[in-house]
A and B are shown apart, each in its own frame.
Chain A
């Protein structure tokens, strides 16, 4: 398979930290419009893979292409974000001393240069988009709250909202339901399925219930490479997956 007609294309990617191979000859392909769940034990390289895609970590070897043509290893975080890859961190990272609304204002796609932000005036259209997102992430009535005062689950949603505001083609979502109640988890699965109607999504998650609710193709990573790939039932019946991950 070649990089054409794919949204995200990783081939033979490897990276080591002080001799430890965090990612080992990893290959993964994501089609446009696809949602994919990534599972795997701790240390399997899930977060490192996201670091590589978003430009935080440079791979030692291998190809990473976005949209079939853009070599992501040649760009930094800000450039990759502007290409249309948004990222939600494992630990919710919102701007705590800003209001919920201002968090979205910062994330909203638009000019990013220092001078254009200095003289920026919020347009009607931008306000509408922000309100739309506030409804989507169920935080409209908390829009003037400081983000610091939100609950853990609400912060996770706010961060997903910030991803939406960025209007990316591809969303990388790292453990979105960690620390959420069952009801919040179900709600988040619904939210992500809605989002996946118009964008591609890569979700890293440990919660098997959640992965099942997503109902998408699953890739299991182990020791930095792909162990198994397919439907959740197929993957969870794989003997090796049971051994390294599910069995324990």
Chain B
């Protein structure tokens, strides 16, 4: 089991997974058990805040899988995040039951307000948590599959694909703004009361949500590591670097892209579903193209193609955002733009790339030094060595 784990996750990934599992345990414990006066006590607001960052981090990991490893720059990943969030929001709305302002036993408040007489068909089933949980992955997954099937088969790539993903999230934004879509229009879904029967405002519930988020992020890191360290991951990098070469080697590039694109969208959906109960609201602004672009910035800042970098990027940039938008609200967007320019120009592989570049150079130099003389073949291949041809230098 341990061996199997380390086969699929590198050292850096293992450390991050271990850290995430540790904070999944320690942060809730500190919040619930330590007295408020203790310096190690994590206040509830902070639990929710970090929980929110971790859902962003998960979105960033999902984006890194397609952008960092397969070269698909999605400027609409926020759409999958928001769809997962809406699926969770619908469950939370149905949990309110008769405790809404209008006290209708079935209909959420906004439907009563709009004079609707019965629940639209697409709200059926959302009173069950497991159905909603299924929809959290299924809705983004099916949308991504359909979208990807059309786009990748037609060989839409590069900036054109990015523009279509942007259009996708913008179209959803407009659609969800409409009242007759049946998702609460402009106001979205809010005023949640319970999740699985527990009060969503309670410190203990928030701690559990936090722990779940940290664990799901750890799972996302594992799944992404598993994918990129398999032969499939090598194919993805090949597609990223020389797509047509991959085709001439006999790989159906479109299917590879479709697979990781769909997995990535599902991951983003789960992140969105964890986000909504912790922030207490989901509305169409989550589909804003700017949100998706911000997610791209997190990945770029942290270092694309590194899995761990995007987590660092998402948490750092959002800490910065929380601080700046409170302290100097007018310069936040300029700071974000400047950050993106600096990273693009000077740190093509982000914060983690700096470290990786240094280490990679060292490893490469060591490898060159070590491999000047080829080792005996029999030891490597177990077959009688082919006579070594004369080198042509």
Contacts and interface: CB of A to CB of B under 8 A. Distances in A.
Given A78-B253, A118-B230, A145 B248 contact: no
A233 interface: no
A180 to B, nearest CB: 9
B118 interface: no
Contact of B248 (A86, A97, A143, A187): A86
A60 interface: no
B251 A112 contact: yes
B252 interface: yes
A186 to B, nearest CB: 8
B377 A106 contact: no
Q: Which secondary structure dominates chain B's binding surface?
A: helix
Contact of A131 (B364, B373, B380): B380
A132 B231 contact: no
A203 B242 CA distance: 22
A106 B381 contact: no
A81 B250 contact: yes
By size class, the interface of chain B is 35 or more
B252 A112 contact: yes
A135 B389 contact: yes
Contacts of A74: none
Interface stretch (B50-58, B179-187, B232-240): B232-240
A209 B391 CA distance: 20
30 contacts: A54-B248, A56-B244, A77-B247, A81-B247, A81-B250, A86-B248, A87-B248, A89-B245, A95-B238, A96-B241, A97-B237, A102-B234, A105-B234, A106-B246, A112-B252, A114-B235, A114-B252, A115-B259, A131-B380, A136-B389, A138-B391, A138-B392, A140-B388, A142-B371, A145-B367, A146-B364, A149-B368, A166-B250, A183-B392, A187-B392
Interface of A: 54, 56, 76-79, 81-82, 86-87, 89, 93-98, 102, 105-107, 112-115, 117-120, 122, 124, 127-128, 131-132, 135-136, 138, 140-146, 149, 153, 162, 166, 183-184, 186-187
Interface of B: 227, 230-232, 234-235, 237-238, 241-242, 244-253, 255-256, 259, 364, 367-368, 371-374, 377, 380-383, 385-386, 388-389, 391-393
